[in-house]
Structure 1
Amino acid sequence: MMELGATLCSKSKPGCSGCPISSHCQALALSLENPSVQVTDFPRVVPKAKPRSDFAAVCVVQIAQGLEKEVTDAMGTDNLFLLIKRPEEGLLAGLWEFPLVLVEEGKTDSLNRRKAMDKYLTKLLSIDVGRKSDVILREDVGEHVHIFSHIRLTMYVELMIINLKDAVDRLCKKEDDSTKLKFTNESSVESMGLTSGIRKVYNMVKAFKEKRLYVSEKGQVPTRKRSRRLK
């Protein structure tokens, strides 16, 4: 069939008279029945649907265990990252990603994004994050647009470093099996098979942290932000 398409049944100039299976060709039959129909009208080209635009808040949550640390210490590699497993069906089924929440197009400002993310994280974690942890650092990192075949996803990325006063293994809700999450160190994140979009998000955060460390090493220690609690 491939050879036939390459030699006789070309899209622009099909050789119907010499085709050995022309008697079975529906396009030829239709063209003989109706002069206005051409063999070259087939196969019909179906116009691609315009990709819809989605918007998402993505929060790279880094867990700094133990006593409260300075921002520059928390930027180190001995910390854990929170990863969420996507549902087993649908887009990117079963893959791991950082906490991600879709937001409405008119509510992509920082305040609304953080409200949506705070609500999502509170639902995911088995503790009251506002009371049992302090936010050491929370800053917007940037935007990344990822194009799927039918979706144009704009991801607004932020980094949040949390100092926990309880053990990490108590964070997961035991009664909720619909959402799977885990905590993994930086070396494991580097070697995981993340999607290209999430990998880009991770690299953005990594570059952001390296830049802050560079500024700190030059003697310009970043101003420490007041710890804010998740609501």
Structure 2
Amino acid sequence: MEESKLEHQEMNIQQFREDLLNWFVEEQRDLPWRKDNQPYKVWVSEIMLQQTRVDTVIPYFERFMEEFPTMEEFAAADEEAVLKIWEGLGYYSRVRNLHSAVKEVVEKYNGIVPDTPKEISKLKGVGPYTAGAILSIAYGKPEPAVDGNVMRVLSRILLIEADIAKPSTRKIFEAAVRTLIDQSNPSYFNQALMELGALICTPTSPACLLCPVREHCQAYANGKEQVLPVKTRKKSVKNISLLSAVLKTADNLYLIRKRPNEGLLANLWEFPTMEVTVNKQYSTQRQALSRYLEQQYDTEIQLETGSFTHVDHVFSHLKWSMDVFAGEIAKTVNLQDGVRLVTEQELEALAFPVPHQKIWKAYKDTQKSGE
């Protein structure tokens, strides 16, 4: 029934397009990836924008393009450089997939991003949304680019009450975009829908009185703009308690370790960390962490009496609650695979996940205040 929504709706599609596009021409934000709509730049920006705010992405995008202005230069980069440029954006599988796909484009397509749905969708990490965004924005192809913004906007305009949290629902919105899209300017049409969702048709308290397509909106006409889109709640977040340590040798080297090459935050560096479990053998966190570190690295550790900072960090499916201690390494460390002693300068050149960046900042602030 949802698929045929447009067929039963009294909607002047041509007027809707004109109202939407005229607004976008006047009101679109000045974003760096909109300067020339080069496929590589569109691609990088769309991957960065997944699950990340535009204001956050802008400086990352500009640094990325300064470091890797061409696909060839990005393809030639090593993983440490790739992870470092992405540090803080999170969801690191995105940049790994991008790196792999760009290598394929350079090797297989002579550095030219494919311009057909079939070919571009074969690239690693390029799903229906990213493919549609690149094809429409960079190549002017009338392909749908359906993300959360677009589903929210169209659920209201077309009064679509299907659950947008269900993957199968995307097909309904893709079909709607194919009917609505402006064949003469699909680039602006798709960007306008996204922009409308970002600036006007927001998740809560949509600014309906400022909306350029309010007259076409079925949710507004029926008083349902606040209840759409329909979206089931996410599963509850799992809480994990961790103990971490910033450990320094007598000659000012810091102990760090690399995370496994698969799973959460794969291949990023971190300070030694253990998960807190119910264990009556140790009376304090400090005692438990000291024992863990000495066993893990076959050394002697002198931890300070209390933790110097607490860090909470929420991922999409879990929350880390971290108590962090500072300490001295009293003797030689067993540097097994993935464990290093590094200078402060070397440490800051490596990629760390956000919670460990917070640890390092807090540690440096503590050191400065103690001088």
Q: Distance in 1 between matches of 2:145 and 2:346?
A: 48
1:121 and 2:293 aligned: yes
Partner of 1:64: 250
Deviation at 1:111, TM superposition (A): 4.6
Partner of 1:102: 275
State the TM-score, normalized to the length of structure 1. 0.58
Q: Distance in 1 between matches of 2:303 and 2:156?
A: 65
331, 335, 352: which one aligns with 1:194: 352
Partner of 1:142: 309
What letter matches 2:155 in structure 1?
K
1:88 and 2:261 aligned: yes
Q: How does 1:1-231 map to 2 (within 5 A)?
A: 1-2=143-144, 10-14=154-158, 45-65=231-251, 79-104=252-277, 111-127=283-299, 129=300, 135=302, 137=304, 139-164=306-331, 166=332, 171-173=334-336, 180-213=338-371
Check the 8 A contact 2:312/2:320 in 1, yes or no: yes
Deviation at 1:2, TM superposition (A): 2.8
Deviation at 1:56, TM superposition (A): 0.5
Write the deviation string for residues 150-207 of structure 1: whole angstroms up to 9, x where unpaired: 112111011002333x4x5xx225xxx5xx2111011111222211110100111111
What letter matches 1:90 in structure 2?
G
Gapped regions of structure 2 (runs ≥ 5): 1-142, 161-174, 177-227
Deviation at 1:45, TM superposition (A): 2.6
Q: RMSD between aligned alpha carbons? A: 3.5
Write the deviation string for residues 2-28 of structure 1: whole angstroms up to 9, x where unpaired: 38997xx93134399xxxx68xxxxxx
Q: Distance in 1 between matches of 2:326 and 2:145?
A: 55
State the TM-score, normalized to the length of structure 2. 0.38
- CA 1:186–1:50 in structure 2 vs 1: closer, same or farther (change >3 Å)? same
Larger CA Rg, structure 1 vs 2: 1
Deviation at 1:64, TM superposition (A): 1.0
Check the 8 A contact 2:268/2:352 in 1, yes or no: yes
Check the 8 A contact 1:87/1:94 in 2, yes or no: yes
Check the 8 A contact 1:138/1:160 in 2, yes or no: no
Q: Distance in 1 between matches of 2:159 and 2:298?
A: 69
The structure with the greater share of residues assigned to helix is 2
Higher RCO (CA < 8 A, seq sep 6+)? 1
- CA 1:160–1:111 in structure 2 vs 1: closer, same or farther (change >3 Å)? farther
Check the 8 A contact 2:270/2:356 in 1, yes or no: yes
Check the 8 A contact 2:259/2:270 in 1, yes or no: yes
What letter matches 2:158 in structure 1?
P
The structure with the greater share of residues assigned to strand is 1
Q: How many residues align?
A: 161
Q: Distance in 2 between matches of 1:195 and 1:143?
A: 15
Write the deviation string for residues 104-159 of structure 1: whole angstroms up to 9, x where unpaired: 4x77xx953223322321232234x2xxxx73855420211111111121110110
